[in-house]
Each structure stands twice: as structure tokens, then as C-alpha cells.
């Protein structure tokens, strides 16, 4: 599991677990509902071609 963007519980500072629809503190059960998140794997803009190695360069 990577920890980028992993929020911490505001109550006890414990790193929260992410479920399919919310972050949940394993200690006290505090929940942060996850709204629509931009997933990097889904982006399909024109920028994706710019960082690819090009055979002609």
C-alpha cells in the first residue's frame, strides 16, 4: 500500500485506512467520506504522450 495522500485522524493522529468509500480511523472509528477523486491511472489527456520516449528523438 502506498501512503501518498493518506490522511491522519484529527483526533488521535493515527493514519487512517482507506475503504472503498471513506477513510476510517482504526482506533476510534472516525470517518472521512471520500468524494469523487481524480485517479491518476484514469487520466487520458493529451499530456500522456509528451513524457513517452519517442523513437525519433
Binding positions for Zn ion, 1-57, rule CB under 5 A = 9, 11-12, 25, 27-28, 30
Residue 25 CB partners (closer than 8 Å, separation 6+): 9, 11, 12, 14, 16, 17, 31
Residue 30 Cβ, how far from Zn ion at the closest point, in Å? 5
Q: In the chain, where do the E strands start and end?
A: 17-18, 22-24, 31-33
Q: Closest CB to Zn ion among 17 and 27?
A: 27
Q: Closest CB to Zn ion among 9 and 23?
A: 9
Residues that bind Zn ion (CB under 5 A): 9, 11-12, 25, 27-28, 30
Amino acid at each position: 500500500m502506498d501512503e501518498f495522500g493518506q490522511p491522519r485522524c484529527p483526533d488521535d493522529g493515527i493514519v487512517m485506512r482507506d475503504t472503498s468509500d471513506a477513510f476510517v480511523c482504526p482506533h476510534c472509528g472516525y470517518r472521512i467520506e471520500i468524494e469523487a477523486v481524480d485517479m491518476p491511472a484514469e487520466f487520458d489527456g493529451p499530456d500522456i504522450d509528451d513524457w513517452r520516449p519517442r523513437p525519433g528523438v
